[in-house]
Amino acid sequence: MTKEWVSMEVVNNDDGSSSLKQKKVQRLRCSVQNYDWGKIGEDSQVARLYAWNSGSEIDPDKPYAELWMGTHESGSSYLVPRHGDGEIVSLKSWISKNPNVLGERVLDKWGSDLPFLFKVLSVEEALSIQAHPDKESAKTLHKLLPNVYKDGNHKPEMALAITEFEALCGFISLEELKVVLHNVPEIVKLVGNADANQLLHMNKQDGEKVKNVLRSAFTQLMSADKEMTTKAISKMKIRLHRESQLRQLTDKEQLVLKLEKQYPADIGVISAFFFNYVKLNPGEALYLGANELHAYISGECIECMATSDNVVRAGLTPKHRDIQTLCSMLTYKQGFPEILQGFPLSPYITRYLPPFDEFEVDRCVLHMGASTVFPAIPGPSIFLVVGGEGTMKGVVSKEVVCEGDVLFVPANVEITLTAAAELHLYRAGVNSRFFQTLRVGM
């Protein structure tokens, strides 16, 4: 697949003015990750966006899992030379040479690097049961196992559904857990009667005691030996197939059987009963703080996070598992997670604000002929076009944009978008509350 890059310069910048150069919108060539759980070939939105972005062909037999937009060394973005023949420069090195593009406040807080990493995910099979460490734990893990934990940063994140999107996230309430312990005897066998009985006789008012027993029960479950796990999952599978002849299985039971097909005899299959089963509609978002357990199940989403690739895994994966670290670091917070619906900034733009300084995401849908403005802000942004076409006008240039285009916009640059055909795009930037907090504190 080939694509011609089109740019219409409106200001000649050959006078070497660094202030103008640092206000120029930069096109990015981005990286793709072909993890096994990704959607295959043309079925993957990641594949289609990457093909448009890079000019490459889609391999019909290959999984395309994640499109990365940012400066993380595991999947760097590169500046596209304006006339197709300049030096190829990574976004990270360009920012380090032009730190003012980040804005003074971002530079003061995070140094000369983007504080966020922007992604698109296309999920065919479940990702691992995992959590991301807080900053202190991340530094320790990176020091101990640098080949596994690639950096010393924390990784709060948010998933914004493009299609219907399914995930496991956090622990179910105590009342729901009691129902599971009554109805899933195979779990009690793995957890042990002592912890199971304690949980059955507790109530919400027991607070920290509940957390401690839940931690003990979950650690027992995830640490069960392979033979016991295989036997328990086999028994559960036989029982559920038999019961499906007599009644409609619950959504969670159907999910567990689906996971068992993907990851036979994996402890992550049966542990799914402990977690909230979340179904997002397009335009809904889920955020995940440090030490919160989760696993994405299926669908396509926009994902944004702090610039890190630290993952502690414990199930539904052939990759390295660190069960003791995961079980010791979790918050064990119970109850259904908050779902963000976003709030309108304008008739065309919806903003999603998680409780993390590093990032926010805007979703913009412009009908043909419509225009909208993204006001200048004190931090950098990355724009991703997922559909349609139009123009993007900044301080220095006017760009023709369409599906697959990814653009870096420096701090303090106002952007005007006009749609030639319905234009659908996303923007990632530093959380606007971060700038408001600083203003109040000054």
Which residue, 148, 114, 117, 116, is CA-closest to 133?
148
Per the CB < 8 A criterion, the answer to whether 365 and 349 are in contact is: no
CA distances from 368 to 252, 350, 374, 386, 426 (A): 42, 18, 18, 15, 17
Give the integer Cα–Cα distance in Å for 157 and 359. 9
How far apart CA 236 and CA 230 sit, in angstroms, is 10
CB of 149 within 8 A of CB of 313? no
Q: Are strands 381-393 and 371-374 parallel, antiparallel or unpaired?
A: unpaired
DSSP state of 333: -
Q: Which of 399, 334, 323 is nearest to 173 (CA)?
A: 334
Amino acid at 75: G
| Annotated active-site residue in 27, 48, 313, 351 | 313
Using CB atoms within 10 Å of the CB of residue 201, give its burial: 0 to 12 exposed, 13 to 18 middle, 19+ buried.
exposed
Q: Does the annotation place 182 within a ligand binding site?
A: no
Q: Do 165 and 126 form a contact (C-beta atoms < 8 A)?
A: no
Is 313 a residue of the active site? Answer: yes
Q: Is 367 annotated as a binding residue?
A: no
294 is in an annotated binding site: yes
CB atoms within 10 A of CB 183: 11
HSE, CB side, 13 Å, CA atoms: give it for residue 204.
8
Length of the chain: 442
Sole residue written with tokens 């060539």: 29
CA 303, CA 226: separation in Å to the nearest integer?
34
Ranges of H-type helices in 330-402: none
Concatenated DSSP letters for 106-160? HHHHH-SS-SEEEEEEEESSPPPEEE---HHHHHHHHHH-TTTS--S----EEEE
67, 248, 287, 312, 361 from 117: Cα distances, Å: 10, 42, 14, 18, 11
- Structure tokens that stand for 385 in this block: 């076009």
Dihedral, CA atoms, 11, 12, 14, 16, nearest 10 degrees? Answer: -20
Chain position carrying tokens 């369409």: 402
Residues of each annotated binding site for Zn(2+): 130, 132, 157, 294
The residues carrying an active-site annotation are 313
Residues of each annotated binding site: 130, 132, 157, 294
